[in-house]
Structure 1
């Protein structure tokens, strides 16, 4: 109830600011204008010339979202495979951890806009540079989450497994992997969130179709209502992705939080 009340109050404040003329529509369109922009981006309109136009930038809004999700799925999927492997290596082999850890933290600290230009030079303005950017955004959180999970494995479990005759491979698969899985999934959750926040940067150049590219293009065209509609869609999609990952974590690691 409190959340609904806050949301209603926010809408009333937004409507009041725009209706009173305190803020010009160019800077803050009314809620109605944003809803209309959202509707127009999902329907076909008849132009004065008689030629129909559908969606925004010739794509429906759901197609823009799907294109962005596909890029994120590929980039994060590749980061998941590489990040988990590197994380387990660094977590179990000390000299690899000492040698590589500074570079992982260096990559984690870099803002995506800092190297998007370099990726475009290397891979062009197509999807390859976008996928690489999303891969790099997701890689370090997955690696660090995996390392944390491996290093936080309780020593008494490892010693008990060795006492029962476990070899290094069975130790990894039956003790370290289950113990580290909650941290690995937390790293994946952070990686997906970070990759989603990077989608606008990834789609600045030739990002149509793509919800980030549409937000950027509509902003450059001073179509503020559509820009805000895109921002709202990006936020809702992020909440749904995070909710799915939280549910998946509960399903995959039901023992999390137990002794």
Structure 2
């Protein structure tokens, strides 16, 4: 374990050294490749009140992050709940599978910005379209993973449960879903990752406070160091969330990879 942690730390240090060397060589103007020191300075400025200005755009960096995490959490939770329910039905009922599989695939292949404008027309420019966008982005990966996992549950499990007295309506949540849980959790990890990659698109309209909104606003004024800071914050928080999801997976399905 310590060796793995050491390798991760070494990789981060190596990437930081490469970044510093490229910025110090001045191969490109700083507006293209800001130095680590410049990004660190923006981290300090956006995390505090200075010269009468509070953070960036009137919000501290932590407030931008929390606003984005709240949207990601809501969109992901709705998408995961809807994806698991939809995946169970699609996996268990062939008729529903034939009807809904093309629709799920269609939505899964659409880029978020393709339908965000439509969500704004329907829901306005406040929180609902942002959460709805993340929900639509997170639902298909969970639905596909759940449906495939449900279809892969061995029939012997169902027969054994029925012989032990389980009712037909109990099979989906007593047998099918627990058996499919490893693949479902993989779908959840993918869905949360998709929600993270979509949050910048979700916050392009009225997205402040929000990391995506901060990035979008900084891009307008060529504040590359703020853009890089926002990307680093999203990546670091996403890495932390994925680590927590992996820990949850090990807790819920300890047999994965061992049987």
- Shared fold by TM > 0.5? yes
The 5-angstrom pairing of residues 180-259 of structure 1 reads: 180-259=180-259
2:13 — aligned with what? Answer: 8
1:137-184: CA deviations, max 9, x gaps?
001011111112211111221122223332212322321121011111
- Determine if the alignment matches structure 1 residue 26 to structure 2 residue 25: no
Aligned-residue offset at 1:4: 4.2
CA RMSD of aligned residues (A): 1.5
Aligned to 1:55: 55
Counterpart-to-counterpart distance in 1, 2:209 and 2:21: 34
Counterpart for residue 119 of structure 1: 119
CA positional deviation for 1:224: 0.8
TM-score, length basis structure 2: 0.93
Distance 1:139 1:28 in 2: 36
**Shift in Å, 1:203:** 0.2
| Aligned equivalent of 2:69 | 69
- Give the distance between the partners of 2:92 and 2:15, measured in 1 at CA: 50
Determine the structure 1 residue equivalent to 2:42: 37
What is aligned with 1:167?
167
Shift of 1:205: 0.7
Alpha-carbon distance in structure 2 between the residues aligned to 1:142 and 1:2: 31
Residue 132 (structure 1) aligns with: 132
Deviation per residue, 1:233-257 (Å, 9 max, x gap): 1110110110111111111222334
Secondary structure of the 1:12 match is helix
Alpha-carbon separation, structure 2, partners of 1:11 and 1:192: 26
> Relative to structure 1, is the Cα distance of residues 131 and 147 closer, same or farther in structure 2, using a 3 angstrom cutoff?
same
The alignment covers a number of residue pairs equal to 254
The yes-or-no answer on 1:151 pairing with 2:151 is: yes
Query: Residue 53 of structure 2: SS of its match in structure 1?
Result: strand
Q: Work out whether residues 88 and 172 of structure 2, in 8 Å CA contact, stay in contact via their aligned partners in 1.
A: no
CA distance in 2, matches of 1:214, 1:128: 19
- 1:49 — aligned with what? none
Which piece of structure 1 moves more, 114-123 or 230-239?
114-123
Shift of residue 5, structure 1, vs aligned partner: 4.3
How many angstroms apart in 2 are the aligned matches of 1:130 and 1:183?
27
Cα distance in structure 2, aligned partners of 1:188 and 1:220: 34
TM-score relative to the length of structure 1: 0.93
> Distance in 2 between the 1:5 and 1:31 partners?
17
Q: Which moved more, 1:224-233 or 1:168-177?
A: 168-177
Residue 142 of structure 1 pairs with residue 159 of structure 2:
no
